[in-house]
Chain A
Amino acid sequence: MIKIWSMKKEEESAKKKKPKTSPAQLRVQKDLTELELPKTMKTHFADPNDVLNFTLTIEPDEGMYKNGSFTFTFAINTNYPHDPPKVKCTQKIYHPNVDLEGNVCLNILREDWKPVLNLNSIMVGLQYLFLEPNADDPLNKEAAEDLRRDRSVFSSNVKRSLTGGAIKGISYDRVLVK
């Protein structure tokens, strides 16, 4: 056998050893503890010892979705950051980029995810969806169509949906800030 140990002795890094924590957990620790969320966003951990599963609540302080309170679940698997976290909206909301099952159309959650992105990028991206709903990538086609046709009608639809009203026969969850 080649004696690779002798190379190790010469290496300055000889003292290095990795803690027995999974790479995904290490990365999540770094992501979470360096989060700098604006006051419009808040994380909640059902079990503070399980940092891989939590919810994020967004309460936009401007735009059409102002006064709404939107909750997303984050599920991070052991292959993070190779795999993006799984993010879903827990409420039935009227939004062009969120469908009635809570699926979210945000490019960095799927096709544009890269390991250099982090939890902060996703949270900022989610908040942006409420400031600038995007009619070009629709998941709720009706909502997207409304937005494209008449922004002010769309805006009043949003207001009604936040209070738990129905739009075109579909009733939405009441998501007003308590």
Chain B
Amino acid sequence: MADVQAASSQAIAGPSDWKHRHKHIDKILDRPGPSTDEAFQPGTTVKTFLREQCKILVIGAGGLGCEILANLALSGFRDIHIIDMDTIDVSNLNRQFLFRDKDVGRPKATVAAEFVEKRVPGVKVTPYHGKIQDKDDDYYMQFNIVICGLDSVEARRWMNATLVNLVDEENPESLKPLIDGGTEGFKGQARVILPTITSCYECSLDMLNKQTTYPICTIANTPRLPEHCIEWASVLEWPRVFGDKKLDSDNPDHIQWLLEQALARAESFNITGVTWNLTQGVVKNIIPAIASTNAIIAAACVLEAFKFATTSAPYLNNYMMYTGNDSVYTYTFEHEKRPDCPVCGGESRTLEVRKEWKLEKLMDLLKEMADLQISRPSLSLSGKPLYYQAPPQIEESTRPNLEKELGQLLEEGDEITVTDAKLPFTLGILVKFV
């Protein structure tokens, strides 16, 4: 037994490894535990996969991202990719510990990658400074696991929808666990999304905390808080003065202008407390970040990634919320899939049609599907209406399509989106010409 272990650790030892480097991690990987999955193969197999094969993508190199990268590298992941579109700001340095004074202004992804590679020998971190939307399906397909440490709902929705869409019935590798961490002040959450199997990010959209907004009439007439003055400057004054020019919350000149307007208004209403930081905070909807919350949530996320990569313990099912406002409280529950979720809900069917059939005939076929009970279907292709039942103008402008042949309107493999008042989900119809 001892020999086997010696051989196994040698097999996966690189030039930068030293004796007992992974001593503590190996305690988990060399033997099964009481709740280990049956498929767990202790020893060489699992270590080789974790250290030589597993490719993991981290989205976001901010407060959560720095913690996630450090944790991954120290738990034995060696092929890590990181995407972040931001550059380092001086206000990041208190908690984003992979960055130093000299790095201010440089891309977060690049600096984080350099730091981790230098500090943890043998780990390869591949940075990409840019948007997640720059990358295509082929890019995301190369990873085994994706971890998100983001602060934007929009980016999460995009990543979630992309991974759900990636799932290909013919290819088991296309199903990638998505681990999503999020923090707001003392609160945080870590969740596991198995695209198309568990509830997805879009399923839980209605659980999100609302952004702080103030009634527009209060802003316009009866400001009482410094925030009201800043909102007045950004929501009412900016469009009044600059018209269609978009406010860029990352542009210091824009923030400065807002600050000046807000200060003048605050003065006329005897309100104090309008500062540069508050202005930026209100405009960008910044909630103060707490380093310890990030550390806890990042640890939970990386633990899930480790369990997925190694099968060493059951994974989180599927939502852990953490509250540190008073005492330390966590609650884990199974968030359920929403059947009418626009991303993972719904259903897709292949329909065999003839090119010379008219769209009207396809509509009739839909209505005849007894299990669906559709009566007034509306159809679109890539977001553009093919036939809408309402509103009247679109009904009229798309009505001529009913008389057109499917060969003119569609191509093989197109997916038509069908909605109907009676259908509690969205139906996808994959076109197959016969």
Residues of A within 8 A of B (CB): 1-5, 7-8, 11, 13-23, 25-27, 29-30, 32-37, 42-45, 48-49, 51, 78-79, 81-82, 97, 99, 101, 103-105, 107, 109-111, 113-116, 137-139, 141
Would you call B33 an interface residue if the criterion is a C-beta within 8 Å of the partner chain's C-beta atoms? no
Given contacts A1-B311, A4-B194, A17-B348, contact A33 B169 (CB under 8 A): no
Q: Which residues of B contact A21 (CB under 8 A)?
A: 380, 382-383, 417
Complex Cα distance, B396 from A42, in Å, reads 14
Contact of B215 among A1, A2, A35, A137 (CB under 8 A): A137
Would you call B90 an interface residue if the criterion is a C-beta within 8 Å of the partner chain's C-beta atoms? no
Given contacts A35-B390, A48-B385, contact A19 B417 (CB under 8 A): yes
Number of residues on chain B facing chain A (CB within 8 A):
71
Would you call B378 an interface residue if the criterion is a C-beta within 8 Å of the partner chain's C-beta atoms? yes
Cβ of B235 to closest chain A Cβ, rounded Å? 8
Cβ of B49 to closest chain A Cβ, rounded Å? 7
Complex Cα distance, B376 from A30, in Å, reads 12
Given contacts A19-B428, A22-B161, A27-B342, contact A111 B213 (CB under 8 A): yes
Q: Which residues of B contact A116 (CB under 8 A)?
A: 206
Would you call B99 an interface residue if the criterion is a C-beta within 8 Å of the partner chain's C-beta atoms? no
Would you call B288 an interface residue if the criterion is a C-beta within 8 Å of the partner chain's C-beta atoms? no
Q: Which residues of A contact B169 (CB under 8 A)?
A: 14-15, 17
Residue of B144, B165, B384, B391 ringed by the most chain A CB atoms within 10 A: B391
Residue of A nearest to B40 (CB): A2
Q: Does B37 lie within 8 Å of A2, measured CB to CB?
A: yes
Complex Cα distance, B17 from A163, in Å, reads 84
Q: Which residues of B contact A26 (CB under 8 A)?
A: 342, 417, 419, 426
9 extra interchain contacts, Cβ-Cβ under 8 A, other than A19-B415, A32-B388?
A4-B177, A11-B196, A20-B165, A23-B157, A26-B426, A49-B384, A51-B394, A110-B213, A111-B213
Residue of A nearest to B167 (CB): A17
Residue of B nearest to A141 (CB): B221
